[in-house]
Chain A
Amino acid sequence: MTRVATVMKLQFVNRRTYVGMPLIILSGAFLLAILILLLVPTDELKFAGGAVAAPLWYFSVVGWQALALTFPFSQAMSTTRRDFHLGTLLTAATTAGILATIYLVISLIEAATGGWGMNGYFTIPGLSGSQLPVAALSYFVVAFLLFLFGYTCAAIAKRWGGVVLTSVLTGLSILLTLAIMLTIRTGSWGAVVTWFTTQGLLGTTLWGLLLTVLMACGSYLMIRRVEH
């Protein structure tokens, strides 16, 4: 356990990457969103939309750096790959947890003040009670998932090279586009929307959690064989 904690300390050497940057992006997006909401002259419900997702995207960059820049040093520090993997994922979980907590606090304030007294929301509007922690949990899962996406991409690049990574990403994009095309052609958008509605926010979040676990295991198998 102490060895895993050492890896966490090693990752947190990059305090700017893990804490500084996400906080700057979050507070920047938050202030900008509030300013814009103030400018919109309506009493109807206002939602800042994508602003809340800004720090989440950055997590894929953090995930990439966690492996590409810190793994070689952890090897020089005679750390096992298992300890590196566990320590790094715990670091990511901690950071995602901090971000989700901030998100929860903002959503609680917005619920209590009716959207800062102007019906304007930075977090997902229209939620109350137990839905708020669930929304925070999904925020956590998405951040963690994007971290693992960057981390897994870096693992693929280290294990098999940049060409393979580009091929995998291109392949995934094509598959995704085909899936969307198929959904449109067969007229099954309704079914897809219904599925998500039945799952609800919690259900969808749990599916995301499952994907996270799969990626965590998959990237571990890669990192076990990365050569240095």
Chain B
Amino acid sequence: MTKVVEVTNLTKRFRNTVALDEVSFNLEPNTIYGLLGRNGAGKTTLMSIITAQAFASSGKVRVFGEEPYENAGVLRRMCFMRDNQAYPDSAKPDHAFRIARLCFPNWNQALAERLVADFRLPVATPIKKLSRGQLSAVGAIIGLAARAEVTFFDEPYLGFDAAAREIFYDRLLEDYAEHPRTIVLSSHLIDEIANILERVIVLDNGRVLLNDATDDLRDRAMVIRGDNTKVAAFTAGRAVIHRQALGALSAVTVLGHLTHQDRAALAANDLEVSPVTLQQLVVRATQAAAGTAADQGAAR
């Protein structure tokens, strides 16, 4: 299948900082992506540039094989809802949906109306008077009902309560099953969305740290727990991304697969092995990257 989005050596410099540093990746059709990373990792900047709302300092973005900037045919097949999306001054949710209906060719009014009911959104209240959660609902509804071929959600559920978040995930999966498309979710609530992500792209300090299928990532690391010396012996020579010690016990997160011999050794030494959650993996990976960067800095 052809790529829907191709990002090549994308760099974005602001006056004193490099927000994106030679970022390259592709987005496949009909896949749900998680765009993860810490605050300031460059997630929003990246989505802004792909949707031609901001400009790269260097590098290239192609969407459906074309340059997206001022390309109406390409832009209308994409939708990018920001966490702090601004709306016209006196707009009510109803207005916003009516405009979205005109702008997005695949807009589904029935879905929009159902989501309004699900989120209990007051559609005739001026948007500037809505609560944070209701404001997020407006963006979530537009993003879902637009059914754009490439949809970006930047922190779509700020202010959502647990029930609203669940509605969002459920409706997204339901609609995705019937109308597959490429969805990119940028979020801090990694474990909560881990189950719906097919692939994960982790940005750290403007670089792509991980870009893998979610299942592969989960298999990639594990936590070894047990007696300090035995854990140290087992993990010696392995890629350790996190160490935690509690008295005589320690828990060490290592990368790599376990062989049969490994499993035998673990059992013989009374060591416990458990999978890492996606959130742990991302946190550890970004911490490890920060550590490496600090080491390099110190060495210089």
Contacts and interface: CB of A to CB of B under 8 A. Distances in A.
Contacts, number: 80
A119 interface: no
- Interface of A, helix, strand, loop or mixed by DSSP: helix
B64 interface: no
Contact of B54 (A77, A79, A81, A228): A228
Interface in B66-104: 70-72, 75-82, 85-91, 95-96, 98-100, 102-104
A210 B90 CA distance: 33
Which size class do A's interface residues fall under?
A: 20 to 34
A78 B88 contact: no
A17 interface: yes
A192 interface: no
B76 A78 contact: yes
Nearest to A76: B85
A20 to B, nearest CB: 9
Contacts of B85: 72-73, 76
Given A17-B90, A73-B85, A80 B99 contact: no
B99 A77 contact: yes
A73 B138 CA distance: 12
B48 interface: yes
Q: Max chain B CB contacts within 10 Å: which of A16, A82, A227?
A: A227
How many B residues touch the partner, as a band?
A: 20 to 34
A225 B55 contact: yes
B205 interface: no
B53 A227 contact: yes
Contact of A73 (B55, B72, B90, B91): B91
A99 interface: no
Given A6-B102, A78-B76, A227-B48, A13 B53 contact: no
A92 B88 CA distance: 16
B75 A80 contact: yes
B55 A9 contact: no
B81 A78 contact: no
Given A13-B90, A14-B89, A69-B86, A228 B53 contact: yes
B51 interface: yes
Nearest to B100: A77
B71 A9 contact: no
Contacts of B96: 73
B87 A82 contact: no
Given A76-B80, A77-B99, A77-B103, A227 B88 contact: no
Contacts of B148: 78
19 contacts: A3-B72, A9-B99, A9-B102, A13-B90, A14-B90, A16-B90, A69-B87, A70-B88, A72-B85, A73-B85, A76-B80, A77-B100, A77-B104, A78-B76, A79-B72, A81-B70, A225-B55, A227-B54, A228-B54
Given A6-B103, A11-B88, A228-B48, 12 more contacts: A14-B89, A72-B86, A73-B96, A76-B80, A76-B85, A78-B75, A78-B79, A78-B103, A79-B75, A80-B70, A227-B53, A228-B53
9 tightest Cβ-Cβ pairs between the two chains A and B: A72-B86, A228-B53, A77-B103, A78-B75, A227-B54, A13-B95, A6-B102, A70-B88, A69-B89
